[in-house]
């Protein structure tokens, strides 16, 4: 990045080349930047993308990453590779002062600094929408990013390994009980893919029977998959029940302190794995901005993807799209575009076009998109799809549609090719079901070997640290494994 961190003051004179600062390098950030660079040369606009991660994650592939059908590295597009001619800054946006045309960036190391701009694109996405449920913050895991997908896969496989190494029936039951909270698309796909993978893995153990695996879904409403018709939602429910997945509809998670699950229908059990997939909310960093937000914390937008104030007046130089933006759905008057990749991707391309038009003194166009359809994978060779709102597809064909659609939408030819090769290898050699649990605490073995020798020996002559602080530190660090 050529730009040096700047001092916290507003720009005094216009730049020769306007700078477009894109917050978030996810679906919106990546596609807006690429489209803008395609339309405008370096002498027409400088483009800067800010994200704490050096890659864009294609989230629809996360369930397949967790199931081991896609290599995690292939489900992400590295910014430096996918964004030629565009500067990338690694850090978190911590404040937005649009009135002064500046954004504060907090890097992982070093002090926060400010970057100024002429046009701002807000593509900060969403975070998990959680509730203050006792125990959830301590033991729950989300399913929003590739790190969580990798950790969850290793965790699930690790619990099967552990159950296979004990005859204690209570411990086995606890290890082999996996709870998912939230029956929307992300939750159902994550549950179905992981269950499929876990049963596949358990078949390789003499001491664990696939029948011992207990997958549980907890959903607050009376149905699952609100994104598709009731009929298709009901079909999915039947399929999951046939796979012995326990489903609690119209039920809330009341507590999960110490991994003891208490549901609102009176059910109680121990579960080593509690995955929270109960919806998303706009990125909370937006509350540290002077941009106009709606009641749900999303940036208010016009259909042209320009930020607007409460009266509908355009906020000059500010644009937004994706999960963090309230974009009016012109084809369903009165409603907003739902938070999904289908909209985020198309909005982003139009956003790039619109900024280019604006810089060339042309009028921006309005976003208008008819839903192509919804596709979901329910494990190997199983899926559901609803195309153009009407055509309902089930089973193998839906699964093929799911893979074809998302492979098409995955950015860069390089990634498409790698994912397709991985799928072919899995078809030929079956999928990998090994748990690399130590990935999450790679220093554990070295730390144990490197503990400084004690000054003396204990009464029984054994050597080892008696410093309670060392023990405490180790316990703390090890607990980060999952
Ligand atoms: C498991 C899962 C499965 C899904 N499956 C589907 C599907 O099948 N079909 C579908 O249409 N949609 C699906 N979605 C939804 C879809 O992925 C999102 O709607 C889409 O990615 C939104 O794009 P976005 O650019 O708004 O946000 P994101 O793609 O999430 O990008 C936001 C970016 O902002 C960055 N960021 C966050 N905070 C900061 C900060 N403070 N400073 C700087 N950068 C920051 C993040 O690192 C990220 O790169 C799925 C989502 C999940 C989680």
- Residue 286 has a pLDDT of 98
Helix 185-202 × helix 146-164 angle, to 10°: 30
Query: Tell me, what's the pLDDT at 471?
Result: 35
Q: Quick count: other Cβ atoms within 10 Å of Cβ 226?
A: 13
- DSSP 8-class letter at 244: T
Q: What is the CA angle 160-163-164, rounded to 5?
A: 85
- Fold assignment, 136-278+373-429: FAD/NAD(P)-binding domain (3.50.50)
Q: How much is the mean pLDDT over the chain?
A: 89
Q: Where are the beta strands (DSSP E) in 378-464?
A: 383-387, 391-394
Segment among 19-28, 266-275, 447-456 with least mean pLDDT: 447-456
Judge whether residue 383 has pLDDT over 70: yes
Residue extents of the structural domains in the chain: 19-52+91-126+281-359, 136-278+373-429, 441-481
SS3 content of the chain, % helix, strand, coil (to 5): 40, 25, 40
Closest ligand 1 atom to the C-alpha of 348? 25
| Mean pLDDT confidence for 276-305 | 96
Buried residues in 156-192 as b, exposed as e (16+ CB within 10 A): bbbbbebbbeeeeeeebbbbbbbbbbbbbbbbbbbbb
Best of 21, 22, 24 to mutate for ligand 1, by most ligand atoms within 8 A of CB?
Answer: 24
Task: Decide: 134 and 256 in contact? Cβ < 8 Å.
Answer: yes
Give buried/exposed letters for 121-139 (b at 16+ CB in 10 A, else e): bbbbbbbbeeeebebbeeb
438 band by pLDDT with thresholds 50, 70 and 90: low
Banded model confidence at residue 328, pLDDT cuts 50, 70, 90 = very high
Taking Cα atoms as reference points, which of 71, 29, 69, 70 lies closest to residue 48? 29
| Predicted pLDDT of residue 180 | 98
Segment 273-302 mean pLDDT: 96
Pick the closest to residue 156 from 193, 181, 105, 123 (CA basis). 193
Planar angle of CA 426, 178, 480, nearest 5 degrees = 90
86-139: pLDDT as tens digits: 999 999 999 999 999 999 999 999 999 999 999 999 999 999 999 999 999 999
Identify the weakest region by mean pLDDT among 102-106, 186-190, 443-447: 443-447
The closest residue, in CA terms, to atom 51 on ligand 1 is 59
Q: Which of 340, 350, 403, 411, when mutated, tests ligand 1's pocket best, judged by the most ligand atoms within 8 Å of its CB?
A: 340
Q: How far does residue 285's CA lie from ligand 1's centre (Å)? A: 15
Atom of ligand 1 nearest to the CA of 59: 17
φ, ψ of residue 391 in degrees (nearest 5):
-80, 120
- Report, as an integer, the average pLDDT of 394-399: 92
Q: Domain 19-52+91-126+281-359 has what CATH class?
A: alpha beta
List the residue whose alpha carbon is closest to atom 52 of ligand 1: 59
pLDDT over 60 at 15, yes or no: yes
pLDDT at 439: 63
- Indicate the top mutation candidate among 341, 350, 408 to test ligand 1's pocket, ranked by most ligand atoms within 8 A of CB: 341
Q: Phi-psi category of 117—alpha, beta or left, where left has phi over 0 and alpha has psi -120 to 50?
A: beta
Stretch among 103-107, 385-389, 401-405, 424-428 having the lowest mean pLDDT: 385-389
For residue 339, give the ligand 1 atom closest to its CA.
19
Kindly give the distance from the C-alpha atom of residue 480 to the centroid of ligand 1, in angstroms, as a whole number. Answer: 25
Please state the atom number of ligand 1 nearest to the C-alpha of residue 28: 25
Q: Is the pLDDT of residue 477 over 50?
A: no
- Identify the band that residue 355 occupies on the pLDDT scale cut at 50, 70 and 90: very high
Phi, psi (rounded to 5 degrees) for 179: -110, 130
Position in ligand 1 atom list of the atom nearest CA 343: 11
Quick count: other Cβ atoms within 10 Å of Cβ 409? 15
Question: By the 8 A CB rule, do 327 and 301 touch?
Answer: yes
Give the pLDDT band (50/70/90) at residue 436. confident
The 10 Å Cβ neighbour count of residue 204 is: 12
Residue nearest to ligand 1 atom 4, measured at CA: 60
Contact 374, 229 (CB under 8 A): no
Structure tokens at 381: 């060779």
Dist CA 433 CA 193 (whole Å): 13
Say whether 136-278+373-429 and 19-52+91-126+281-359 share the same fold: yes
Q: Which of 21, 23, 26, 95 to mutate to test the pocket of ligand 1 (most atoms within 8 A of CB)?
A: 26
Strand partners, 97: 102
Beta-carbon contacts of residue 295 (< 8 Å; ≥ 6 apart): none
Q: How far from 408 is each of 172, 374, 419, CA to CA, in Å?
A: 42, 14, 11
Q: What whole-number distance in Å separates Cα of residue 65 and Cα of residue 120?
A: 33
Q: Does position 478 have pLDDT exceeding 70, yes or no? A: no
Closest atom of ligand 1 to 56 CA is 49
- SS3 of residue 329 by DSSP: coil
């Amino acid at each position: 990045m050529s730009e040096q961190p700047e001092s916290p003051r507003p720009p005094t004179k216009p730049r020769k080349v306007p700078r477009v600062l894109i917050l978030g390098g996810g679906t919106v950030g990546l596609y807006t930047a690429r489209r803008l660079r395609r339309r405008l040369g370096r002498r027409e606009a400088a483009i800067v993308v800010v994200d704490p991660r050096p890659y864009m994650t294609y989230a629809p592939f996360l369930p397949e990453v967790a199931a081991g059908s896609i290599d995690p590295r292939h489900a992400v597009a590295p910014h430096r590779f996918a964004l030629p001619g565009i500067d990338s800054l690694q850090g978190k946006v911590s404040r937005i002062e649009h009135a002064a045309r500046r954004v504060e960036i907090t890097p992982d190391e070093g002090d926060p600094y400010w970057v100024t701009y002429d046009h701002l694109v807000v593509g900060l996405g969403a975070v998990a929408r959680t509730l203050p449920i006792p125990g959830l913050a301590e033991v729950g895991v989300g399913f929003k990013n590739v790190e969580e997908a990798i950790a969850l896969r290793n965790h699930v496989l690790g619990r099967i390994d552990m159950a296979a190494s004990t005859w204690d029936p209570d411990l086995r039951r606890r290890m082999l009980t996996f709870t998912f909270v939230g029956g929307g698309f992300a939750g159902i796909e994550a549950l179905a893919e992981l269950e499929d993978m876990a049963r596949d893995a358990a078949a390789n153990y003499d001491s664990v029977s696939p029948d011992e695996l207990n997958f549980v879904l907890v959903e607050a409403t009376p149905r699952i998959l609100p994104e598709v018709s009731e009929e298709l939602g009901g079909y999915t429910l039947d399929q999951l029940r046939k796979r012995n997945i326990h489903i609690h509809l119209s039920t809330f998670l009341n507590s999960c302190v110490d991994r003891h699950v208490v549901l609102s229908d009176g059910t109680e059990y121990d579960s080593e794995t509690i995955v929270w997939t109960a919806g998303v909310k706009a990125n909370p960093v937006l509350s540290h901005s002077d941009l106009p937000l709606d009641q749900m914390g999303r940036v208010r937008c016009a259909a042209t993807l320009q930020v607007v104030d409460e009266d509908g007046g355009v906020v000059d130089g500010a644009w937004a799209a994706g999960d963090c933006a309230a974009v009016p759905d012109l084809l369903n008057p009165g409603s907003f575009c739902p938070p999904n990749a289908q909209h985020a991707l198309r909005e982003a391309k139009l956003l790039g076009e619109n900024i280019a038009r604006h810089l060339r003194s042309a009028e921006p166009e309005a976003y208008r998109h008819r839903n192509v359809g919804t596709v979901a994978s329910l494990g190997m060779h199983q899926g559901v799809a609803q195309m153009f709102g009407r055509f309902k597809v089930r089973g193998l064909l839906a699964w093929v549609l799911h893979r074809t659609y998302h492979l098409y939408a995955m950015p860069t030819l390089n990634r498409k090719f790698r994912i397709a090769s991985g799928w072919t290898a899995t078809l030929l050699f079956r999928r990998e079901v090994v748990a690399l649990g130590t990935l999450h605490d790679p220093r554990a073995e070295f730390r144990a070997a490197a503990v400084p020798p004690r000054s003396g020996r204990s009464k029984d002559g054994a050597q080892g640290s008696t410093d309670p602080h060392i023990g405490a530190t180790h316990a703390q660090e090890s607990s980060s494994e999952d």
